Amino acid sequence: MSEPTNPSYPPPPPSYTPPPPASVSPNRSLMIVLSYLWLLALIPFIIEKEDREVQWHARNGLVLTAVEFGLWFVLWIMSIAVHFLACLGCFAHLAVFAVFLVVRILCIVKGVNGQRFLVPVLSDYADKF
Going by pLDDT thresholds of 50, 70 and 90, the confidence category of residue 50 is confident
Residue 112 forms part of a structural domain: yes
pLDDT digits over 15-49, tens only? Answer: 545 555 556 667 877 888 888 888 888 888 888 88
Interaxial angle between packed helices 86-112 and 52-81, expressed in degrees from 0 to 180 and rounded to the nearest 10: 170
In a domain, 118, yes or no: yes
Q: Do the domain assignments include residue 47?
A: yes
Indicate whether 124 belongs to any domain. yes
Residue 85, Cα to own-chain centre: how many angstroms?
34
Number of domains the chain is built from? 1
Q: Is the pTM of this model over 0.95?
A: no
Residue pair 39/65 in contact by the 8 Å Cβ criterion: yes
117 is in which domain, residue-wise? Answer: 28-128
Kindly state whether residue 6 falls inside one of the protein's structural domains. Answer: no
Q: Is residue 114 part of a domain?
A: yes
